[in-house]
Amino acid sequence: MSGWDGLDEFLAVAETGGFSKAAERLRLSTSQVSRAVAQLEERLQARLFFRTTRRVSLTETGQILLTHCQRLQEEREEAFQAIGDVQGSPKGMLRVTCSVAYGEQFVMPLLNDFLEQHPQVHLEMELTNRTVDLVHERFDLAIRLGRLGDSAMVARQIAPRRMFLVAAPAYLEQRGTPHSLSELAAHRCLIGTSETWVFSNNGADWLFRPRHHWRCNSGHAVLDATLRGFGLAQLPDYYVRDPLRSGRLVSLLPEQQPPGQGVWALYPQRRYLSSKVRLVVDHLRAGLARRPEYQGPEAQTAQGEGPPAPSAR
């Protein structure tokens, strides 16, 4: 029996919070995972988990082992990635996460193109509107939208993103056109995933919390309701580009439009960045730049890297 035996199973249980979830991650049976952890505890002569019928939690010894195992696992994966890169084309599993609507419309077609070019790369994509913990859930890459907060994640902008306050002409004819930020409270507001709208006021951010009359966590649904004249909405450029050009929507308060935010590729800070992550980020950036939604004078050049972490999806 090797000294490494049981460590992967232990790490999976610790990170997922349960034996069945760990088994699902490792593609093993629950009994295999449970047996491997039990054998590891016997070998170490120490209990690693407190087990009840409802939950699994780490003991103090387990917490110490987890800290060291995560570092060992990261270094092992970096070694495998470095060897794979030396041998040629990228290969292995690539785990990516993105918000549902943007991922379906923009990211997945480009990732499928990437897989056609690199058939030895295997993709696992999670489309979700929750903020995924990349390190603990072992994702290689996240695509995030909007403003970013501080974190140890590396962030690279791969596309611009600007927000527009819009309404249908029919709504404005009925309810009037707002000419200042103070008038927004008197209007019907259509809300998506964000509780607040951001504007620029004398060079500073101005936050408005709409009293919503309609809400849905789908940008496409918000756009449809806005086109029907239900109310005002603040939506990203890629939703409203064509309706603004055709006159089906009107852009409001352009002087208070917030500065561009961006579409970001985020990945954990590591000493060695695998070629598959580096190549897929470059591929996404180039592919998004070719899309019609990002063409025109309003499109900004996506550039830069930095250490922010997501506060928006």
> Which pTM was predicted?
0.67
**Whole-angstrom distance, CA of residue 180 vs CA of residue 194:** 21
Residue by residue, DSSP assigns 215-271 as E-S-HHHHHHHHHTTS-BEEEEHHHHHHHHHHTSSEEE-GGGPPPP--EEEEE---S
Residue 80: the pLDDT is 66
pLDDT for the residue 283: 96
Q: Per-residue pLDDT for 84 more than 70?
A: no
Greater confidence, 91 or 59?
Answer: 59
Reply yes or no on whether the pLDDT at 2 is more than 90.
no
The CB density around residue 53, as the number of other CB atoms within 10 Å, is: 4
pLDDT at 312 over 60: no
Residue range 111-124, pLDDT digits in tens: 999 999 999 999 99
Averaged pLDDT for residues 51-64: 87
Rounded average pLDDT over 237-249: 93
pLDDT digits (tens, 9 = 90+) for 122-135: 999 999 988 888 88
Give the pLDDT confidence of 255-285 residue by residue, as tens digits.
998 887 899 999 987 655 788 899 999 999 9
pLDDT in the model for residue 245: 93
Going along the chain from its start, the domains and CATH numbers come out as: 7-76 (1.10.10.10), 89-160+261-310 (3.40.190.10), 163-256 (3.40.190.10)
More confident residue, 287 or 153: 287
pLDDT at 271: 56
Of 178, 210, 176, 206, nearest to 193 (Cα)?
A: 210
pLDDT, residue 81, reads 62
Helix axes 30-44, 7-16, angle to 10 degrees: 110
Of 242, 281, 275, 244, residue with least CA distance to 263: 281
Task: Dump pLDDT digits (tens) for 152-200.
Answer: 788 999 999 999 999 999 999 999 999 999 999 999 999 998 889 999 9
Q: Does residue 20 register a pLDDT over 80?
A: yes
* Confidence at residue 138, expressed as pLDDT on a 0 to 100 scale: 84
Contact 135, 71 (CB under 8 A): no
Please, what is the average pLDDT of the chain? 86
Pairwise pLDDT comparison (294 vs 11), residue with the higher score:
11
Distance CA 93, CA 209 (A): 41
pLDDT band at 3 (very low <50, low <70, confident <90, very high): low
Q: How confident is the model at residue 295 (pLDDT cuts 50, 70, 90)?
A: low
